[in-house]
Amino acid sequence: MKALVKAKAEEGLWLQNEPVPEIGPGDVLIRIRKTGICGTDVHIWNWDEWAQRTVPVPMITGHEFAGEIVELGRDVTDLRVGQRVSGEGHLIGKTSRQSRSGQFHLDPETKGIGVNVQGAFAEYLRLPAFNVVPLPDAVPDRIGAILDPLGNAVHTALSFNLVGEDVLITGAGPIGIMAAAVARHVGARHVVITDVNQTRLDLAGRVADVTPVNVATEDLDAVRSRLGMRQGFDVGLEMSGNTHAFDQMVEAMVTGGRIAMLGIPPGKSPVDWNRIVFKSITIKGIYGREIFETWYKMLAMLENGLDIGGVITHEMPVADFAEGFQIMRAGQSGKIVLDWD
């Protein structure tokens, strides 16, 4: 089968032939139709320090996918051949206290497809049946291929009650933009999204009913008072991984504000803890998706009018993958979807 492989411990990815994976009794084999390129895949392409430390070579990359089941392991009874599916790319263990108490997303033994185990940028993917999520008719493959990052957005956005609240999102990358659409969908009052990249702010304004703010040129406080907020934002969703953005968020919050942090800062970050303490701010770190609560909520919202389709700015055949990665690296795109048919 064709697969996009980290074949050598150097910059790049290679489209090459690999054996079709053999499935175990509890697995399914999925024929991949569409995949999404993630920032993680770009790290692996670049072969940066994190990738060198984390990814064994050779490795089939990719973890955002939609496809169709073509084979069932002998113990799998609740799925069927021909079913359209996506799935959770975090493979969890069953022995930790967190898993055994049903908090699968907190399992410290979690492994990621396309990072620690062979991934989804391939014609066929082996996945434990436990991880499979069937796609409703209302969710086409192109959206099915980006449920992993939409799930990050949903998990973060639903961490705190947003109904009637003023919400600040820092970072208008694909995940920040989708979180803005979710915040609007569930009934936030004002949703403000910040970035320093005007292309992405323009995209945010087209995809979701939000107020985009370019913090390189605009004053966030002025926007806040223009919108009629007295004290500040009630809820913050940090989706940039940028230390300045986080600082600005803490500054812009009300006392008693709540912050959910998805963005991954580059290292230890200098934070003014005084402000966090005296403002009584609650901070929650977010990793991945709640397994499987996020998936149920996300699919229900998609079936009930949540429209994030506009965040996909490019779709191309997998043969053009190098161009797709180039566009991603330039930071001028939303989601890029590769077509495997």
Q: Is 43 among the residues known to form the active site?
A: yes
**What is the distance between the alpha carbons of residues 82 and 135, in angstroms, rounded to a whole number?**
12
Name the active-site residue from 35, 40, 110, 170. Answer: 40
**C-beta separation of 155 from 101 below 8 A:** no
Kindly give the interhelix angle for 321-330 and 39-46, rounded to the nearest 10 degrees. 100
Give the x/- contact pattern for ligand NAD in 52-91, rule: CB under 6 A.
----------------------------------------
Give the x/- contact pattern for ligand NAD in 20-59, rule: CB under 6 A.
-------------------x--------------------
Q: Binding to ligand NAD by residue 176, rule CB under 6 A?
A: yes
**What is the distance between the alpha carbons of residues 308 and 305, in angstroms, rounded to a whole number?**
10
Distance in Å, CB of 12 to ligand NAD, minimum? 20
119, 236, 241, 257: residue in contact with ligand NAD (rule CB under 6 A) = 241
- What is the footprint of ligand NAD within residues 96-155 (CB under 6 A)? 152
Q: Is 40 among the residues known to form the active site?
A: yes
Q: Which stretch binds ligand NAD (CB under 6 A): 88-96, 106-114, 188-196, 309-317?
A: 188-196
Distance in Å, CB of 29 to ligand NAD, minimum? 26
Q: Binding to ligand NAD by residue 159, rule CB under 6 A?
A: no
Q: Binding to ligand NAD by residue 172, rule CB under 6 A?
A: yes
Shorter beta-carbon distance to ligand NAD: residue 36 or 257: 36
**What is the distance between the alpha carbons of residues 99 and 51, in angstroms, rounded to a whole number?**
27
Supply 23's token pair. 């499935």
Distance in Å, CB of 63 to Zn ion, minimum? 6
**What is the distance between the alpha carbons of residues 197 and 332, in angstroms, rounded to a whole number?**
8
Q: Of ligand NAD, Zn ion, none, which one does residue 210 interact with (CB within 5 to 8 Å by kind)?
A: none
Q: Binding to ligand NAD by residue 263, rule CB under 6 A?
A: yes
Supply 229's token pair. 């907020």
Distance in Å, CB of 144 to ligand NAD, minimum? 18
Q: Identify the bridge partners of residue 191 per DSSP, sorted by sequence position.
A: 167
DSSP letter assigned to residue 23: P
DSSP letter assigned to residue 105: G
Supply 78's token pair. 């609740």
Find the radius of gyration of the CA atoms of the chain.
20
Q: Which stretch binds Zn ion (CB under 5 A): 142-150, 163-171, 288-296, 303-311?
A: 142-150
Do β-strands 253-261 and 111-112 pair in parallel, antiparallel, or remain unpaired?
Answer: unpaired
Go through 190-210 and write b for each residue having 16 or more CB atoms within 10 A of its CB, e for each that does not.
bbbbbbbeeebbebbbebbeb
Q: Binding to ligand NAD by residue 200, rule CB under 6 A?
A: yes
Shorter beta-carbon distance to Zn ion: residue 38 or 260: 38
Count of residues of this chain found to bind ligand NAD when the rule CB under 6 A is applied: 27
Burial bucket for residue 150 (CB in 10 Å: 0-12, 13-18, 19+): buried
CA dist list (Å): 69 to 32, 42, 160, 209, 253: 9, 28, 35, 36, 46
Which residues are catalytically annotated?
Answer: 40, 43
Q: Which residues bind ligand NAD (CB under 6 A)?
A: 39, 152, 170-176, 194-197, 200, 215, 239-242, 244-245, 262-264, 286-288
Q: Which residues bind Zn ion (CB under 5 A)?
A: 38, 148
